[in-house]
Amino acid sequence: MEDRIEEYIGALFAHDDALLNALREEADRAGLPPISITPRAGRVLQVLLKAIGARSVLEVGTLGGYSAIWMARALGDGGQLLSLEIDAAHAEFARRYLDRAGLTGTVTVRVGRALDLLPALDGQQFDAVFIDADKEPMPTYLDWALRLTRRGGLVFADNALWAGRVADPEVTDAATNAVREFNRRFASDPRIDGTVLPVGDGLAVGVVR
C-alpha cells in the first residue's frame, strides 16, 4: 500500500523529465554513487523555495547536479545557486547537465572541500542552504548554514533518517552518530524551527528564526 501511495504522489507531483532521466542514467553508467535525492524530495525543495521567494541558494554537495537542477528551476529571474563539490569529475559532470538544462548562468559549481570553502562565504546571506554531502561533518555544516542563512530563510538536509540507522541504538559508527547529532541540534537549536519529513531518506526542513 505504501509503495502504491508513493507511486501515486510521484506520478502527480514529482516525476523526472527527459533531461533528469538522462542525467540519472548517465550518472549510473559513469559510476557516480546512486545517492541523489528522490524526485519527491526535489519537488518539496522547489515548493518551499518558491514559498519564500528564494533568489539565492547554497548547496553543500553537488554530485551530478540533479538536486541543483530541481532547486535552480524554482528560483526567480536573476536567482543564483552556488554548489560546493569536492570531486572535480563530479563537478564537471554536473556542469555539463546544468548547461543542457540552460542553467549555466544560474548555477555555479565550486570545487573543493566544503569545510575549506565555507569560510570564504562568511558574511554572505542566502535565502536557503541545502546540505547533502559527507555525513561526519553534518553538525558543522549546520553551524555554517545557520550562519549563512537569512532570518526567515530555509535550511534543508538530505539523509536525516540515514536508512533508519539513526533509530537503531546498536548502530554507533561515526557517520550515523554525526547524523544523530545533526538531528538533535536541528530539533533543539534556538536559531531554527525544524522537523524531518519522511521523504526519501528523510528530508530535514527548518526555518531560521
* pLDDT per residue as tens digits for the range 133-187: 999 999 999 999 999 999 999 999 999 999 999 999 999 999 999 999 999 999 9
- What's the confidence (pLDDT) of residue 1? 66
- Over residues 127-131, mean pLDDT: 98
* pLDDT per residue as tens digits for the range 4-61: 887 888 889 988 999 999 999 999 999 999 999 999 999 999 999 999 999 999 999 9
Burial of 143 (0-12, 13-18, 19+ CB in 10 A): middle
Backbone angles phi, psi at 151, to 5 degrees: -60, 135
* Yes or no: domain 2-208 corresponds to CATH 3.40.50.150: yes
- Over residues 54-74, mean pLDDT: 98
Contacts of 130 (CB under 8 A, 6+ apart): 45, 57, 58, 59, 60, 67, 71, 156, 157, 158
- Over residues 93-116, mean pLDDT: 98
Question: Is residue 206 a contact partner of residue 194, using CB atoms and an 8 Å limit?
Answer: yes
Pick from 145, 156, 84: nearest CA to 113: 84
| pTM of the entire predicted model | 0.96
